[in-house]
Amino acid sequence: MNSASKTPQPAPDSWRSLPRGPYIAEQLQQRLDEWAPGLFGFSLLKVDALSAELSLERSRLRQGVVMAQRERDGMDLLGDATAMPFAPGSLDACLLAHVLDYSEHPHAILRETEVVLRDDGWLVLTGFNPYGSAGLARCWPGWRQRLPNWRHMLAPARVEDWLKLLGFEVIERDYIGFTGFMPWLDRWQRRCCPAVLPSPAAVYILLARKRRFPLTPVRERKPVAAPVARPEMARQRE
């Protein structure tokens, strides 16, 4: 295995750089528009160009900032997603559109996101499904260089496991194909054989919320009554 296969491709500057990118972005935006009214807070962080092109304007998040991981026009600041320049617990929401697909350290990005989000903060992330049509599309010469390496695509179930270990609750999930036919096939798969085949969709989108629960439930202690001396014991003492 050469070193090139281990190094992620550079993240695209626009959805137009991806196969069926505008269509996928349109479908993702529809999901965000449905979920956005339930999101509230002050600060929203978008990481990299694909996140910047998506909108959460229908949410009650009042201020947004875009952070690029390499020099790009139109970004608010430059920073590393594995070491974000924000104080712990200072952000209310974070949008990671395919950021994990183009990183050597996706788990470190999720850990850092957990640190900078406040308790009950929101995380929206999207990714390519390696076991769906996005993985198969890597076999097509015309699309191979326009998609991330198969080894860097993360299955949605794996991402959900990481999120749960970090204390996130996955609230919403959805899947998007390269064409309008894929949602029908995805619904059939999830209804007929969910345990046998992974989702055939190309892209997944997750909405998660950072939770903080005690490791063990705190039980109320019952008051212990003071021992009462028996009459015969009292007479013996006299």
Give the list of residues 6+ apart from residue 78 with CB closer than 8 angstroms, or none: 67, 68, 69, 70, 71
What distance in Å separates the CA atoms of residue 225 and residue 160, rounded to the nearest whole number? 48
4-13, 76-85, 183-192: lowest mean pLDDT where? 183-192
Residue indicated by tokens 């137009």: 16
**116-127 pLDDT tens trace:** 999 999 999 999
Q: In which band, very low, low, confident or very high, does the pLDDT at 27 lie, cut at 50, 70 and 90?
A: very high
Predicted pLDDT of residue 190? 56
Give the list of residues 6+ apart from residue 177 with CB closer than 8 angstroms, or none: 132, 133, 183, 185, 186, 200, 201, 202, 203
List the beta bridge partners of residue 128.
Answer: 203
54-68, 69-83, 211-225: lowest mean pLDDT where? 211-225
Q: Give me the phi and psi of 140, to 5 degrees please.
A: -90, 120
For the chain, give every domain's residue range. Answer: 8-212
Q: Are 19 and 178 in contact (CB under 8 A)?
A: yes
Residue 23 CB neighbours (<10 A): 16
Predicted pLDDT of residue 215? 44
Q: Are 121 and 207 in contact (CB under 8 A)?
A: no
- What kind of fold does domain 8-212 have according to CATH? Rossmann fold (3.40.50)
**148-197 pLDDT tens trace:** 888 889 999 999 999 999 999 999 999 888 876 555 555 655 565 444 44
Burial readout 25-48 (b: 16 or more C-beta within 10 A, e: otherwise): bebbeebbeebbeebebebbbbbb
